Amino acid sequence: MSARVQWLRLRTEERRPADALTEKMIDIILRKGRKMNESYDVAAVLAARLGLERVYAVDDHTSDSIYAEVPSDFDKDFAGRMEEPALVKSLAAIKAQVARVRDGETLLALYREMNAKNATREQILADFGGALVMPSKRYAGRTYVGWWDVRNFRMVANARATFATSPGTRVLNVVGSSHKAWYDALFAMMPDVEVVDAEAVLR
């Protein structure tokens, strides 16, 4: 991601293979043939516009080690989970939101909508709330929620570490909407961190 920032900070005529930078490396930086990604297509672009040197990756899948402790057929407990009415409704609503995006302005409108107060409540209740009460003698749903908690704790810790030595720094966290409730709650607990309403900056 930081390589993408540096690439975007170059003048247009300087964006070419040179020195140790090869065409193949440029394809990697540009993510040719890959789907859009908020870290590269939003965070890196914004960082370059602001004259920043880099972005920090904070996503953390070390929580996946939790699943090393479960039986090999653990996934069977989730059979049919995606057909649950509340989850189907929630996913359809998200798909409809994204389908309305046509340009920069409609994308910004989507971000405002997704960051509004309680905007992800139904999504969280359908996904994690539903998992907490799903029938399973092995507590598969509760294990899933535990994994999600640990992942978010570590992501927030990684984000906090990026500005721990720079009090007063403004920080933009770009994450999937289902992480937002955990981010807001965990950062709000920190005595030297102020959580700013996204509506104040999404202009």
The pLDDT profile of the chain, 203 residues, written as one tens digit per residue, is: 789 999 899 999 898 998 888 989 998 998 888 888 888 888 999 999 999 999 999 999 999 999 999 999 999 999 999 999 999 999 999 999 999 999 989 989 999 999 998 899 999 999 999 999 999 999 999 999 999 999 999 999 999 999 999 999 999 999 999 999 999 999 999 999 999 998 888 87
The verdict on 51 and 101 lying in the same domain is no
The verdict on 80 and 41 lying in the same domain is no
pTM (whole model) above 0.85: yes
Contact 87, 126 (CB under 8 A): yes
The verdict on 165 and 84 lying in the same domain is yes
CA pair distance 198, 174, nearest whole angstrom? 11
**How remote is the C-alpha of 160 from its chain's centroid?**
15
Please give the full DSSP string across 45-61, using - where no structure is assigned.
HHHHHTT-S--------
CA pair distance 35, 101, nearest whole angstrom? 16
The verdict on 42 and 107 lying in the same domain is no
179 domain-assigned? yes
63 domain-assigned? no
The verdict on 22 and 95 lying in the same domain is no
66 domain-assigned? no
The verdict on 117 and 186 lying in the same domain is yes
The verdict on 102 and 178 lying in the same domain is yes
140 domain-assigned? yes
Find the domain containing 89 and state its range.
76-200
62 domain-assigned? no
The verdict on 180 and 101 lying in the same domain is yes
* Alpha carbon separation from 1 to 125, 158, 173 (Å, rounded): 32, 16, 14
Number of domains in the chain: 2
65 domain-assigned? no
61 domain-assigned? no
The verdict on 132 and 86 lying in the same domain is yes
60 domain-assigned? no
